[in-house]
A and B are shown apart, each in its own frame.
Chain A
Amino acid sequence: MNNIKKTSRNNMGTIGMIIAAFVIVQILKTAGMINSQMDGLLVPLCVYATMAVSLNLVVGILGELSLGHAGFMCVGAFASAFFSKVVEQSMGTFPRFLLAILVGGAVAGVFGFLIGIPVLRLKGDYLAIVTLAFGEIIKNLMNVLYVGRDAAGLHFSIKDAASLNLMEDGEMIINGPLGITGTPFDANFVVGFLILLISTVVVLNLTNSRTGRAIMAIRDNRIAAGSVGVPITKYKMAAFTLSAVIAGCAGALYSHNLSSLIATPARFGYNMSILFLVFVVLGGIGSTRGAIIASIILTLLPEVLRFMADYRMLIYSIILIVMMIINWNPKSRAWIQKHRPGNVIRSRREASEAGKEGR
């Protein structure tokens, strides 16, 4: 079928783009053309791009607005860092980090599943606000969680470090608002690239399958999806949980790139969740490729604008507003559409929106 060829060509393009970007960066790196500042951005870029893929699955493909995705990333970051700290001495770097990523993804997945049960019963803005609430609760709880270890095993508390009653030789693992310090510095660009690549392949291949069609059917018309026997709750839960797993893996990557992991609002608060949403919407809602590109542009933009000193974030915000208006204003979109033929994603969206007034 022509139709299948077209979408799979589109998917191959996205995957090719990621691999090409990786190869180019690696070449530049060996040629010594990447300064240390840019080098330090490579892992965060992978983290944010992976988060964009994850959130696009919920917002663009499942069609539900989540404002709490930083919470899943937070869970993944803490769970994996905790794991790495606990087994630090007893395992080699590679298996430890691999397991840490899996632990981060799995724990975030469990959270996604448990939170999904109540949340997915709600609709629209109400669902969005409850995800925001869960994200804030997770961040808040991480700040009051104390975990220590001594000869007798692990100790937990949500009051303070003293109530752990650690022995002399005990060590703090999660220290309330001070978080986790000394997580092994295992993350690197290659692993980040692999996480992004695998997440993208999983989401794209799933989207372009029986499962993905069912999920998109729920997005496009829930009642019609039910009428043809698509189990709505099951697929909503599956998409939401998978998205949380991917966010958890991104979180694991994130925490193993930091010397101290603290659940600050700037890192895991609603502002961060909203930033991920910006990637998805700027990327064109539903387009995984667009979300990845938007995440990279918006992560690099402040660096590119560094010469503007104090004005850089101001310029950043203006660019964001202007890009949104250019990308979404009906008139400017019609213009872009006319001057860029063959843009499959855009023309699909354009065509579909001609018929409907708002969502």
Chain B
Amino acid sequence: MALLEIKNLSIQFGGLRAVDDFNLTVEKGDLYGLIGPNGAGKTTVFNLLTGEYKPTEGVIKLEDKDITGMSTIDINRAGVARTFQNIRLFKDQSVLDNVKIGLHNQFRYSPVAAVLRLPSYFAVEKQMNEKALELLAVFDLDTEADTLASNLPYGKQRKLEIARAMATNPKLLLLDEPAAGMNPNETEELMEDIRFIREKFGMTILLIEHDMRLVSGICEKLTVLNFGRILTQGPTRDVLSNPEVIKAYLGDD
């Protein structure tokens, strides 16, 4: 049983078919790349996968469970977490609180316990702090726990988004251009981090990226999207040497 199975996924915006007949199978433990030129519809696929958009046609299955058309909230609870191309942090809150919001559905106590400051409040808050710091430590952000999220440098903001997504305890992690805006050193660190979370948490990862060094460095399989349609898919090396792909990226001439 594949972890993620997408069949004939399409979405139409007015006259434009932004994603057309998209098929994808991701096995548990895969590190899968989704690439393609700008405007090819990659982020739209993520938005469909997470329920941000409702597909016009097609089926999305997570561990054989149909999640097509479910709300973003239910899809996250079913086990899909994501990061955003244009970083979306909770800017007015601390780094630690950003991750703790990710832990929202993992740790619970009643609002009454919070208002009355019952022992369960302190106990669960302590667990949440520990868990959040553990996740932050993976991305070397634990020393910045008290910093306001908006005060982090760009590269760290991207990492914090990954940590926050990981906090929801997902089965599948979607990373939308995680290396965008990073310098080569930061990208190198990020690749390490992605490998690490994959091994430590056995995470299945689907990522969108333009940085070919990152894609060829860590992805085992690729799907190439062009004008909303699949150009080709398969093992990274085969895909990257495919003349069609080179043409799509570099143009016809």
Interface, chain A (partner B; CB < 8 A): 1-4, 6, 201-202, 205-206, 208-214, 216-217, 219-221, 223-232, 238, 286, 348-349, 351-352, 354-356
Contact = CB atoms under 8 A, between A and B. Distances in A.
B73 to A, nearest CB: 5
Given A213-B101, A214-B101, A217-B101, A227 B72 contact: yes
Interface of B: 50, 52, 71-73, 76-77, 81-82, 84, 88-94, 96-97, 100-102, 104-105, 107-109, 111, 114-117, 121, 124-125, 128-129, 145-146, 148, 150-151, 164-165, 167-168
B37 to A, nearest CB: 25
A211 B148 CA distance: 19
Nearest to A202: B115
A15 to B, nearest CB: 12
Given A226-B72, A352-B150, A221 B90 contact: yes
Given A223-B88, A227-B81, A228-B76, A210 B93 contact: no
A352 B150 CA distance: 6
A217 B90 contact: yes
Classify the secondary structure of A's interface with B: helix
Nearest to A201: B115
Contacts of B102: 228
A53 B205 CA distance: 44
Given A3-B145, A223-B88, A356-B91, A213 B100 contact: yes
A144 to B, nearest CB: 38
A228 B167 contact: yes
A6 B147 CA distance: 12
Contacts of B128: 210
Contacts of A214: 101, 104
A202 B77 CA distance: 29
Q: Give me the 3 closest cross-chain CB pairs, A-B, nearest first.
A: A209-B114, A229-B76, A224-B88
Nearest to B71: A226
Nearest to B148: A351
A6 B145 CA distance: 13
Contact of A228 (B94, B96, B125, B168): B168
Given A227-B50, A228-B167, 19 more contacts: A3-B94, A216-B93, A217-B101, A220-B89, A220-B92, A223-B88, A224-B88, A224-B90, A226-B71, A226-B72, A227-B72, A227-B88, A228-B102, A228-B104, A228-B168, A229-B77, A229-B104, A230-B73, A352-B150
Contact of B125 (A4, A226, A354): A4
B3 to A, nearest CB: 18
B115 A206 contact: yes
A210 B151 contact: no
10 contacts: A2-B146, A205-B114, A206-B115, A209-B125, A210-B128, A213-B97, A225-B101, A286-B92, A351-B151, A355-B151
B107 A210 contact: yes
Contacts of B71: 226
Contact of B81 (A2, A209, A228, A230): A228
Contacts of B146: 1-3, 6
A325 to B, nearest CB: 23
Contacts of B125: 4, 209
B93 A206 contact: no
A224 B84 contact: yes
A221 B91 contact: yes
B92 A210 contact: no
A351 B148 CA distance: 8
A213 B148 CA distance: 14
Nearest to A348: B148
Contacts of A206: 111, 114-115
A228 B81 CA distance: 7
A213 B93 contact: yes
Nearest to B76: A229
B219 to A, nearest CB: 22
B73 A226 contact: yes
A355 B151 CA distance: 8
Contacts of A230: 73, 101, 104
A352 B82 contact: no
Contacts of B111: 206, 209, 211, 238
A353 to B, nearest CB: 9
A86 B44 CA distance: 60
A3 to B, nearest CB: 5
B91 A355 contact: yes
Contacts of B81: 227-228
Given A224-B89, A232-B73, A210 B168 contact: no
B167 to A, nearest CB: 7
A286 B125 CA distance: 22
Given A217-B101, A229-B104, A231-B73, A211 B114 contact: yes
Contacts of B129: 1, 4
A356 B115 contact: no
A77 B194 CA distance: 58
A6 B71 CA distance: 36
B60 to A, nearest CB: 16
Contacts of B96: 1, 3
A352 B101 contact: no
Contacts of A2: 145-146
Nearest to A216: B93
A355 B150 contact: yes
B90 A227 contact: no
Contact of A229 (B84, B114, B115, B168): B168
Contacts of B92: 216, 219-220, 286, 348-349, 352
